[in-house]
Amino acid sequence: MTMVTNERQILSDLQDAMVRRAEQLVLDLNLSTGEGVLKGKTQASKALEVAQTAGSLPVFVNWLRYQAGRERSADFWTKQAGKHSLARALAEDLGWLQKEVGARLPGTDRKQQSDATMRAATRFLGYFRRALIGADYLDKIQLPEAK
């Protein structure tokens, strides 16, 4: 199996878990009606753009820290998401993703693992942005339970 095929399979294998984690992150924010679109759409879009060009998770997390410290964006990134701020909770989810990708790519070099992790992180942030925009409907539109 080639690296590209292997990576596609990894992303496919992880996508349901990434969607669940992204949606849970938004639910943990406990947003009021409309707040997801109002406050987060731009910030989530910026995060997605940065992840696409960052090159590595440490560079992206550096940007997250910067955003949490900026006056204009701190309200969003420091909002509580469960036990931690959104920025910290997001960094933890991305750390989980890094471990999952690494475990599925044994024997590959760090650069390949980092590249695959960043593609997965970009996808995860896309799911997060979708969940944020659709936050008002996360608990209203569900798949029926499988019987």
Q: What six digits make up the tokens of 126?
A: 């896309």
Distance CA 81, CA 8 (A): 30
Whether 90 and 64 have beta carbons less than 8 Å apart is answered as: yes
Q: How many domains does the chain have?
A: 1
Does any domain span residue 93?
A: yes
Structural domain harbouring 131: 3-136
Does any domain span residue 146?
A: no
Does any domain span residue 11?
A: yes
The whole model's pTM is what?
0.91
What is the chain's pLDDT, residue by residue, as a tens digit (147 residues)?
466 668 889 999 999 999 999 999 999 999 888 776 777 889 999 999 999 999 999 999 999 999 999 999 999 999 999 999 999 999 999 999 999 999 999 889 999 999 999 999 999 999 999 999 999 999 999 999 876
What pLDDT, on a 0 to 100 scale, did the predictor assign at position 4? 64
Distance CA 43, CA 33 (A): 18
Does any domain span residue 123?
A: yes
Max CA pair span of the chain: 49
